[in-house]
């Protein structure tokens, strides 16, 4: 009976240890992938935003703007396969003022490594506003599973080229959910040359001059680390014109846009669900299963090798004769 019990304990122990290891290093890796077909919408708003309207060459400093970003998946790329490691995401961003006037719009197609969330630079279908020469680099719209407390490259659609990294900026809590905060600071950087009326850069209104367009941003995101989902985000954007003399001229866009409360609530809800599932595979399951398995193995080994004490007889190994 003791032998049977020891074999059962050994079997259960080995099973628990193997399952714990598989949960972390195989099952988690197999199931922890970004979707091929995401269907997410985030909305950010800002008040007191400075906006320049090129149609009538006028500027407002009190606009209320709304930025709506939609991310959808598509299979229209040879690199994308069902069950594969690469996803092709179609991202649309529209920024409008409170009157419905278009401030900016961007259409992007980006290939993403489903396991690392890094852009796949060699992708035949990537583009920004129909420009297929762009090369995406860095993270794209989410962070990796099991995000760490260190810097990450993060692609900026406006800058397009090499961008400053996202710096880990500390732990935080958003709507009760533990998150990591990251900050990306983009200094004033030239992004284009434009032909503009001279009065927009301290010149003669009757002249047309070549002005340089500059862009800068401080982007802050709050990331749920197990899933890599961005649950909250804000951007402090500034775009300006600089004249031939180098002086700053017209401000094209300036203000802070942040996720709405509804968007934060929805993102937290999705991240909380993903966190509980991924944590079970990566942390809770292995943390429980492996120690329990080791205890069962030790208990089974102890039962298997322990020797029974002999029954009967005295300590001297013989019986005393009657009458002696």
Which of 190, 302, 299 has its CA nearest to residue 242? 190
What are the extents of the domains in the chain? 32-259
Strands (E), 145-289: 167-174, 177-197, 208-224, 229-242, 248-259
* CA–CA dist 158, 190 (Å, integer): 11
Farthest-apart Cα atoms in the chain, separation: 139
Confidence class for position 134, pLDDT limits 50, 70, 90:
confident
Residue 81, pLDDT score:
84
For 43-52, the pLDDT digits (tens) are: 999 999 999 9
For residue 238, report the phi and psi dihedrals to the nearest 5 degrees. Answer: -150, 125
pLDDT average, residue stretch 59-72: 95
148 vs 316, higher pLDDT: 148
DSSP secondary structure letters along 88-157? EEEEEEEEEETT--EEEEEEEEEEEETTT-BB-SS-TT-EETTBTT----SB-SS--TT--SS-B-B--T
| Least confidently predicted of 15-29, 133-147, 202-216, 245-259 | 15-29
Cβ–Cβ < 8 Å for 238, 250: no
CATH 3.40.710 fits 32-259, yes or no: no
Most confident residue range from 74-78, 132-136, 258-262, 300-304 = 258-262
For residue 284, report the phi and psi dihedrals to the nearest 5 degrees. Answer: -60, -50
Residue 303, pLDDT score:
65
The DSSP 8-state label assigned to residue 298 in this structure reads H
pLDDT average, residue stretch 269-277: 87
279 vs 235, higher pLDDT: 235
Residue 54: count other Cβ atoms within 10 Å of its Cβ: 11
- The per-residue b/e assignment along 309-323, b for 16 or more CB within 10 angstroms, e otherwise, is eeeeeeeeeeeeeee
For 110-119, the pLDDT digits (tens) are: 999 988 999 9
14, 216, 271, 273 from 156: Cα distances, Å: 48, 11, 23, 28
């Amino acid at each position: 009976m003791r032998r049977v019990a020891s074999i059962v304990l050994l079997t259960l122990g080995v099973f628990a240890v193997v399952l714990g290891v598989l949960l972390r290093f195989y099952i988690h890796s197999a199931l922890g992938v970004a979707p091929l077909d995401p269907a997410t919408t985030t909305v950010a708003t800002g008040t007191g935003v400075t906006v320049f309207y090129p149609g009538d060459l006028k500027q407002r400093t009190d606009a209320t703007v709304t930025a709506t970003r939609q991310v959808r998946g598509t299979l229209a790329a040879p690199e994308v396969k069902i069950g594969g490691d690469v996803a092709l995401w179609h991202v649309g961003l529209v920024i409008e003022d409170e009157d419905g006037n278009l401030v900016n719009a961007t259409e992007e197609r980006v290939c993403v490594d489903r396991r690392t969330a890094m852009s796949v630079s060699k992708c035949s279908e990537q583009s920004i506003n129909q420009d297929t020469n762009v090369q995406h680099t860095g993270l794209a719209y989410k962070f990796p599973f099991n995000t760490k407390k260190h810097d990450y490259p993060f692609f900026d659609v406006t800058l397009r080229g090499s961008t400053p990294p996202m710096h880990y900026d500390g732990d935080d809590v958003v709507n009760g959910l533990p998150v990591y905060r990251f900050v990306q600071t983009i200094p004033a950087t030239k992004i284009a040359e434009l032909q503009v009326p001279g009065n927009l850069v301290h010149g003669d209104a009757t002249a047309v001059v070549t002005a340089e367009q500059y862009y800068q941003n401080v982007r802050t995101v709050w990331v749920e680390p197990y899933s890599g989902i961005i649950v909250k985000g804000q951007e402090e954007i500034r775009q300006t014109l600089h004249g031939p003399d180098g002086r700053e001229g017209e401000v094209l866009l300036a203000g802070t846009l942040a996720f709405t409360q509804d968007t934060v609530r929805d993102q937290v809800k999705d991240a909380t669900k993903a966190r509980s599932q991924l944590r079970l595979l990566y942390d809770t399951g292995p943390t429980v299963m492996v120690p329990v398995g080791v205890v069962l193995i030790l208990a089974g080994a102890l039962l298997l090798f322990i020797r029974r004490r002999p029954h009967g007889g005295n300590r001297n190994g013989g019986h005393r004769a009657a009458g002696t």
